[in-house]
Amino acid sequence: MKINRLQLVVAFGFALVTALIAWKSTRAYVVNYTWSTNTASFTYDPSLPTGFYSGVSSGAYAWNDVGTSSWAWYNSPSGGNWMKYGYIDGNGNAAAGMTPTICNPGGHLCKIEIKFESGEYWYTGSGTPLSYQVDLRSVATHEFGHALGLGHTQTMPNCPGNVSDATMCPSLPAGTTYFRSLQGDDRLAVSTVYP
C-alpha cells in the first residue's frame, strides 16, 4: 500500500492532536504566578517555635529534590520570606496560609509569607501523627508549593483522598502524611515552571 503525502500529514496531525489532548487531560496542576528566578530563600520568624524548623525545612526541600527541575529553596537568616506561627481561624479550619507579594508588571512573585495556625494540634516529628494531629511536614510541603506559585490541583481523579493524592490537592485529613512526598503531577508542575 502506497501512502501519499496528504495521508501522511493527516496521520501526523491526528497523532499530534491526540497526544496534546492526552497530555492536557493528565495535567492537573494549576499555576497562578511564578518567581523570575529559580531560587528563593526562607527565614524563621521569632514567632515560629523551634520545634517547627525541621518540618518546615523538610517541606521546602521536597521541592528541591525533583531531578528535572532547577528550583531550589534555601534557608537564610536574612531571606525576607517569613515562616510564621499565629492565629488564622482556629482549630480544624485552615492549618496554614501563604501570602504572596507580586512585585512587577510581569506578575512575578518577589516575596511570600507562610503562617502556621497556632490553634492546630500539630505533629512535628517524622513518624506517623495521631488521628487528630495535623502533619507539619505535609502542610509545609503543600504551602511551599503555593509559594512556588502553584494553585490547588484539579481535584478528580488526582485527589482521591489517599496516599496517591498530589501534594497540591486542596485538603489533608488529620493523622495522614499524604503530602510529604511529591506525586507525578507535582513534579511535572515544578519541572514545567522551573525547568
User: What string of DSSP letters covers the chain?
Assistant: -PPPHHHHHHHHHHHHHHHHHHHHHH----B--EESSSEEEEEE-TTS-GGGHHHHHHHHHHGGG-TT---EEEE-TT---EEEEE-SS-TTS-SEEEEEEE-STT-EEEEEEEEEETTS-EE-SSS---TT-EEHHHHHHHHHHHHTTB-PPP-TTT--SSTT--TTSS---TT--GGGS--HHHHHHHHHH--
Quote the pLDDT of residue 6.
Answer: 39
Q: What is the pLDDT of residue 26?
A: 60
DSSP 135-190: EHHHHHHHHHHHHTTB-PPP-TTT--SSTT--TTSS---TT--GGGS--HHHHHHH
ω into residue 100 within 30 of 0, thus cis?
no
pLDDT at 19: 35
pLDDT in tens, the chain (195 residues): 454 543 333 333 433 333 333 333 467 999 999 999 999 999 999 999 999 999 999 999 999 999 999 999 999 998 889 999 999 998 888 999 999 999 876 789 999 999 999 999 999 999 999 999 999 999 999 999 999 999 999 877 788 888 889 999 999 999 999 999 999 999 999 999 999
The full set of domains in the chain, from first to last, is 30-193 (3.40.390.10)
